[in-house]
A and B are shown apart, each in its own frame.
Chain A
């Protein structure tokens, strides 16, 4: 995998003799780039992550079965209250203490 010049960003393949002489720009420091993800790959991953989020409805936690949970991180980060969905058939539990609780830690 390539070595990238730390100054101009030019890439050199592994074992390239020019690495020993220094980069064209005069710089002689290189950073090893293990497996640079192509932008298209990253975009696909971003889409996948977005899709994961869309799978959830209003619930912050979904109980699929005893011992199997799906957690909607985005909702948990956004809101104080916790809504639990049971399986996938539209049953919900609203956790009232999380709605009503005054913050004790402050």
Chain B
């Protein structure tokens, strides 16, 4: 079995090449509360009239990856069919105390912390099955964090097409330029997933990058 797996691994790029023809699988990644689910909802609402899940102000609301297949995006007459994977927020430390201040009981908070940890592992495992990544960052926060640096570095190592989404530009303290300064080697698209600001530019960039 080991040999088969090794062969499969070696020719993964070929498998991806063939899959690319009809459909691309895009993962939405980022730290907790960056707006991943809000963005997934925005994309689905715009193109299939559906939603992915409910976002929340409490971090680690999404604790299982969610997959929606066959979402058709049309930009400038060009159509792109994508599978969207909304992943749990990636963090390096998860502490139930953080959830207590949102009014969760200790038991609920501990369960949430455990599920969030499993969620991080699940999110990372999904990377093996993707054709591209939308990395969502909160424009109001410092982008130079261990989580962001590690994700970007690993996606680069895997040669996966990467588009950085500078989210929450509707907020007064947002600074998408700071994200561009931190990761100048990648395209950065400033948007507000909540308000739908500049979302067409994102679809255009997705069609160019992943199509």
Contact = CB atoms under 8 A, between A and B. Distances in A.
Interface in A64-78: 66-74, 76-77
Contact of B91 (A34, A35, A45, A71): A71
Given A76-B121, A103-B128, A69 B94 contact: yes
B146 A52 contact: yes
B96 A73 contact: no
A35 B178 contact: yes
Interface in A28-54: 31-37, 42, 45, 49, 52-53
Given A37-B144, A52-B92, A68 B113 contact: yes
A49 B149 contact: yes
A37 B110 CA distance: 37
B129 interface: yes
A49 B147 CA distance: 9
Contacts, number: 81
Given A34-B175, A106-B129, A73 B150 contact: yes
B146 A71 contact: no
Contacts of A67: 95-97, 106, 109-110, 113-114
B114 A77 contact: no
B209 interface: no
A91 interface: no
B144 A42 contact: yes
Interface residues of B, number: 37
Q: With a 10 A CB-CB cut-off, give which of B90, B92, B177 has the most chain A CB atoms.
A: B92
A100 to B, nearest CB: 11
Nearest to A95: B121
Contact of A71 (B96, B120, B178): B120
B181 interface: yes
A105 B25 CA distance: 13
A69 B117 contact: yes
Interface of A: 31-37, 42, 45, 49, 52-53, 60-61, 66-74, 76-77, 82, 102-103, 105-106
Interface of B: 1, 5, 8, 15, 90-97, 106, 109-110, 113-114, 116-117, 120-121, 124, 127-129, 144-147, 149-151, 154, 175, 177-178, 181
Closest 8 CB pairs of A and B: A67-B96, A67-B110, A77-B154, A67-B113, A69-B117, A34-B175, A73-B150, A69-B94
Given A67-B113, A68-B94, 20 more contacts: A34-B177, A36-B181, A49-B145, A49-B146, A61-B121, A67-B96, A68-B95, A69-B94, A69-B113, A69-B116, A71-B91, A71-B92, A71-B94, A71-B120, A71-B121, A73-B92, A77-B154, A102-B1, A103-B128, A106-B15
11 contacts: A68-B95, A69-B94, A71-B92, A71-B93, A71-B121, A73-B90, A73-B92, A74-B150, A76-B124, A105-B129, A106-B8
